[in-house]
Amino acid sequence: MIIEDLTPEHEKLYFMCLEDWSAEMKEAGNHKEKWYCSMKDKGLRVKLARDDRGEIGGMIQYIPIEYSFVEGKNLYFLNCIWVHGHKQGRGNFQKKGLGKALLTAAEEDVKALGAKGIAAWGLMLPFFMKSAWFKKQGYKAVDRQGVQVLLWKTFTDDAIPPKWIRPKKKPKIEQGKVNVTAFLNGWCPAQNIVFERAKRASAEFEGKVLFQAYDTSDRDTFLEWGISDALFVDGKEVRSGPPPSYEKIKRIIEKRVRKLK
């Protein structure tokens, strides 16, 4: 097993979260690439994992916590860790220790950079970014928001615990139109897919839908709202994980369009 830094040769693979075989992933547009270009000089770190055959099967990305969607100081924040687990494309690399090796490499890296700890988000549900998995790696929960858990591991005794930045306001509703409001950070292709599908579906109802987009990779925009990635239709949040299909998003909008006076 080899853990290595991202190089230009594998950037396109990274932008697609190792799922270059996926037609759905192509719907995500170039938002992650744009985010990467804006963050790579601000401390973003990306590492890839190769198995014993030399095949790339895992990735991890982490940033100074000041650029994340949580509050903290002198810490790094782990945006995501992903080991390819689909039968399609590259095949299933899970249950081989790649995830643990990536996490260990990231921890050693941020220690060397002088960070006092590293934080991560996890889900209480039994799939991607499981909080239970992080706890097995020595992480402790410090905050919770719905099914999302904020966890961390400290390297020094004087490290200050991070905390969630919670939503501060909701989208305003303009009467006479269906209001579709999309928040986009850019680092996660799954959320980028939701954004692109909502934008495309809104365009199907010309003159009847007001589509508003907010780029929360801009720190001031994020802090104004306290929302990183989300989709709202007439002020009601649409569940975006896993990404709803284009058809489902279009049906939600169409149902509201029918109720316009």
Identify the domain containing residue 13 by its residue range.
Answer: 2-164
89: domain CATH number is 3.40.630.30
Could you tell me if 11 and 116 lie in one domain? yes
Nearest Cα residue to 50 out of 5, 12, 17, 20: 5
Task: Report how far residue 234's alpha carbon sits from residue 252's, in angstroms, rounded to the nearest whole number.
Answer: 10
Could you tell me if 145 and 222 lie in one domain? no
Q: Is the pTM of this model over 0.75?
A: yes
183: domain CATH number is 3.40.30.10
Is residue 98 assigned to a domain? yes
How many other C-beta atoms lie within 10 A of the C-beta of residue 147? 11
- Cα dihedral sign, 28-29-33-38: negative
Could you tell me if 100 and 25 lie in one domain? yes
| pLDDT in 10s for each residue of the chain, 261 residues | 899 999 999 999 999 999 999 999 999 999 999 999 999 999 999 999 999 999 999 999 999 999 999 999 999 999 999 999 999 999 999 999 999 999 999 999 999 999 999 999 999 988 789 999 999 999 999 999 999 999 999 999 999 999 999 999 999 999 999 999 999 999 999 999 999 999 999 999 999 999 999 999 999 999 999 999 999 999 999 999 899 999 999 999 999 999 997
Q: CA end-to-end span of the chain, whole Å?
A: 62
Among residues 137, 164, 191, the one where a domain terminates is 164
Task: Report how far residue 138's alpha carbon sits from residue 127's, in angstroms, rounded to the nearest whole number.
Answer: 19
Is residue 16 assigned to a domain? yes
Run of H or E residues at 63: strand 56-64
- Which are the contacts of 89, defined by CB distance < 8 A and separation ≥ 6? 18, 19, 20, 21, 22
Nearest Cα residue to 227 out of 210, 212, 241, 214: 214
Could you tell me if 15 and 120 lie in one domain? yes
Task: Report how far residue 33's alpha carbon sits from residue 12's, in angstroms, rounded to the nearest whole number.
Answer: 8
Sequential DSSP letters for 76-110: EEEEEEEE---SSTT---TTSSHHHHHHHHHHHHH
Is residue 111 assigned to a domain? yes
Task: Report how far residue 66's alpha carbon sits from residue 75's, in angstroms, rounded to the nearest whole number.
Answer: 8
Could you tell me if 64 and 191 lie in one domain? no
Helix (H, G, I), strand (E, B) or coil at 255: helix
